[in-house]
Amino acid sequence: MQSTTTTVRRQLSCLEKMMYLLGRGARTRSQSTTSPAAAPQYTLAIARQVPRSFPNAITKFAAATSSDTNISLTTTIQQHDAYLKTLRSFVPTVCLPALDDLPDSMFVEDTVVVMGNSAVITHPGHPARRAEVDSIRDFLGNQLGMSVKSMSDYPNAFCDGGDILNTSRHLFVGLSERTNRKSIQVLEEVLQVEVIPVTFQGNALHLKSIVTHVDDSTLLAPIGSLGDDVIKKMQAIEKGYTVIRIPNMLACNVLSVNGGLVAQNMGDEEIRSILKQVAEDRNMIVAFVDCSEIAKADAALTCCSVLLNI
Ligand code: GLY
């Protein structure tokens, strides 16, 4: 039987959650000067409803691995609802209203890089995504009271949050088609952290399309040359990471949140059992969600939320 607290938490509306947070007030937090802070206990996740235009989302890489590229809006909404339900079992979650004219706007991860109470609103690498940042800036700055800076105020810097891998011990930034070196300077200056740049080439949109973290010493990366290359460029082994290799790149995108490991249901028993074991070995609870529709838009489950520890 579910506890009353859990049931009540799940039934809270987004507005009530915001009011709860505003009532607490956002705490200020001293910044680290060399590396990200110790593993955070997240207090809030931000997501965004699926826009009606989602079937027109940008896609480039998915077509290389699947012949089925037609996005079903109905299925996307069902999968997103299930994702939110799973996320809310690990962390209170605010789901912002849809931006119906911006097809990729549910991928909130790309719009901001957060470190404690500080946020850098990104200047997304694809021009069609730049209008997504206004409402996230308003929410974080004006409603949550976070310290917010805009990357667009710095000339020639662009970045998608999907290229930011914060393992708590290191902040890796993928240099992709969407993220450039100038953005690294901005992140270092504003967030006062050391950034480790990771160049990569291959059929992947973002660094986190290839590798994500389970905890501060465990990474998931795909079997094959792209995984080999990225792990080498990160100097992951030298930095003390155990790298679990998975026979599917999409399955390497997991969301580690407050002892939960949210993973993508690939319909593959071998991958499922690897991920179950990874979670069990670390006393984490694994939860699988279906992400077939967002995968057609080159996205994965981390794209759909931003985790805060304010
Ligand atoms: N469809 C996700 C992106 O291209 O940014």
Domain boundaries, the chain: 4-20+39-308
CA 295 to ligand 1 centroid distance, Å = 10
Burial class (CB in 10 A: 0-12, 13-18, 19+), 283: exposed
Kindly give the interhelix angle for 73-88 and 4-11, rounded to the nearest 10 degrees. 140
Q: What is the pLDDT of residue 305?
A: 98
CA 210 to ligand 1 centroid distance, Å = 15
Q: For tokens 């662009």, what's the residue?
A: 158
Query: Is the CB of residue 298 below 6 angstroms from any atom belonging to ligand 1?
Result: yes
The answer to whether 123 is a known catalytic residue is no
CA 297 to ligand 1 centroid distance, Å = 6
Q: What is the pLDDT of residue 37?
A: 58
Q: What is the pLDDT of residue 136?
A: 98
Are 6 and 88 in contact by the 8 Å Cβ rule? The answer is no
Residue of the nearest CA to atom 4 in ligand 1?
58
Query: Is the CB of residue 126 below 6 angstroms from any atom belonging to ligand 1?
Result: yes
Q: What is the pLDDT of residue 35?
A: 67
* Secondary element (H or E) of residue 277: helix 269-281
Q: What is the pLDDT of residue 40?
A: 75
pLDDT in tens, 69-111: 899 999 999 999 999 999 999 999 999 999 999 999 999 999 9
Q: What is the pLDDT of residue 15?
A: 41
C-beta pairs of 220-227 under 8 Å, 24+ apart in sequence:
220/244, 220/245, 220/246, 220/251, 220/252, 220/254, 220/278, 221/245, 221/246, 221/252, 222/246, 222/247, 222/248, 222/249, 222/252, 223/247, 224/249, 226/200, 226/202, 227/252
Strand order from edge to edge, sheet including 164-166: 164-166, 171-175, 195-199
Burial class (CB in 10 A: 0-12, 13-18, 19+), 182: middle
Helix (H, G, I), strand (E, B) or coil at 213: strand
CATH class label, 4-20+39-308: alpha beta
Q: What is the pLDDT of residue 20?
A: 39
Q: What is the pLDDT of residue 87?
A: 98
Among residues 80, 123, 170, 206, which one is catalytic? 206
Q: State if pTM tops 0.85.
A: yes
Q: What is the pLDDT of residue 38?
A: 61
Q: What is the pLDDT of residue 39?
A: 66
Half-sphere exposure at residue 211, Cβ-oriented, CA atoms within 13 angstroms? 35
Query: Is the CB of residue 12 below 6 angstroms from any atom belonging to ligand 1?
Result: no
Are 162 and 178 in contact by the 8 Å Cβ rule? The answer is yes
Tokens of 228: 């080999």
CA dist., res. 293 & res. 296, Å (int): 5
Strands 93-96 and 164-166: unpaired
Q: How far is CA 175 from CA 53, 58, 184, 301, in A?
A: 28, 19, 9, 20
CA 265 to ligand 1 centroid distance, Å = 21
- Nearest residue to 125 (alpha-carbon basis) of 99, 151, 145, 102: 151
Are 267 and 290 in contact by the 8 Å Cβ rule? The answer is no
Q: What is the pLDDT of residue 172?
A: 98
Residues of the chain with pLDDT under 70: 1-39
CA dist., res. 269 & res. 310, Å (int): 37
